[in-house]
Each structure stands twice: as structure tokens, then as C-alpha cells.
Amino acid sequence: MSEIAYLSLGSNLGDRETNLRRAIRDLGAMGRVISASSFYETEPVEFTGQGWFLNCAVALETAAASAELMRGLLGIEREMGRQRIQKKGPRIIDIDILLFGMAVVNEPELIIPHPAMAKRRFVLEPLAEIAPSLMHPVLNKTIRELLLELPPGQLVKKK
């Protein structure tokens, strides 16, 4: 049985657009990419002393379990040269599972829905483009509602 996973992708090192396109292509090994948002220029949050990111959201139909999908995503990051040197620091690629169907997972290595997604404009703006009426399984609000509730700030511009 397959599930729809919603992913957030970001890059702020090297050719960011090429990095995102390669990651989206490589997701094909994990399932079928159903849709991908536009790319968005986004200012860094938390660790702000770094270059701007290019972000997008992807809907992936997959037969993998959530933990298996996470292992595959980490493998794509490794293959693309991601090094985890500084928490929230610059990276060639970052791939997060935002939602996995209506699943709620709370494991030491994996939390779904992504715990910070409802506070991040750089996540919600691209996700709202491809799945505005998608329901958050814990907050019981649509992605569009979550986006509209965000306070001003966090610059996000469609590329």
C-alpha cells in the first residue's frame, strides 16, 4: 500500500536550483513524485549568518514506511555531499518529511508531522502551493490556514 509523503527541500550552497532538481530526480528511487512546488528564495531563520536558501515542497507517492523513507532521504543527502557540521548551518541539500499521510510518528529519530512546520513560512508557502487544503493531522488545520496564521516576517519570494 502506498502513502503520500510531503517533503520540504532546501539548499543554500553551490548551484541551489541544480541541487533541488537533482534531489527531486533522486526521489524517484523512493517512489513517484506527484507534484513539486515552484522554487522560493527564503531568508535563513535561526542561524541567520549564512546565504539565502532556495526551497520547494514535493508530494511523493511511496510504498516505503516512514522510517524507510527517512533512511532513503538521508542517503540522498549523503550522496549529494551533505555534511552535518553546524546545526541549522549552510547545506547543499536538506530534505525533511513534513507529513506522511495522516500518520503521527514520535520516535527518537523521526517525528511526523515535522514539529516546526507550522511556524515556518519557507515550508508552508511552497506546501500551500501544491496542497493548500491538506489537513495537518495534529493541529486539525489546513496548510492554507496555518500559513495565514503566521505572523509577519520570514521573507519568502517565489523565484
Q: What is the pLDDT of residues 48-61, one digit of tens each?
A: 677 899 999 999 99
pLDDT category at 34 given cuts 50, 70, 90 is very high
Is the pLDDT at 159 greater than 70? The verdict is yes
* pLDDT on residue 100: 98
DSSP string, the chain: --EEEEEEEEE-SSSHHHHHHHHHHHGGGTSEEEEE---EEE---SS-SSPPEEEEEEEEEESS-HHHHHHHHHHHHHHTT----STT---S-EEEEEEETT--EEETTEEES-TTGGG-HHHHHHHHHH-TTPBPTTT--BHHHHHHHSPS-S-EEE-
* pLDDT on residue 36: 98
Tell me the residue type at 29.
Answer: A
User: Cell 526551497 belongs to which residue?
Assistant: 55
Percentage of the chain lying above the pLDDT 90 cut = 83
Is the pLDDT at 83 greater than 90? The verdict is no
pLDDT category at 46 given cuts 50, 70, 90 is confident
Residues classed as catalytic: 82, 91, 94, 96
* pLDDT on residue 6: 98
C-alpha cell at position 54: 532556495
* pLDDT on residue 86: 67
Choose the weakest-confidence range: 91-95, 124-128, 140-144.
Answer: 91-95
Architecture of the domain defined by 3-158: 2-Layer Sandwich (3.30)
**pTM of this structure:** 0.94
Query: Average pLDDT of the chain?
Result: 94
pLDDT category at 1 given cuts 50, 70, 90 is confident
Q: Where are the domains of the chain?
A: 3-158
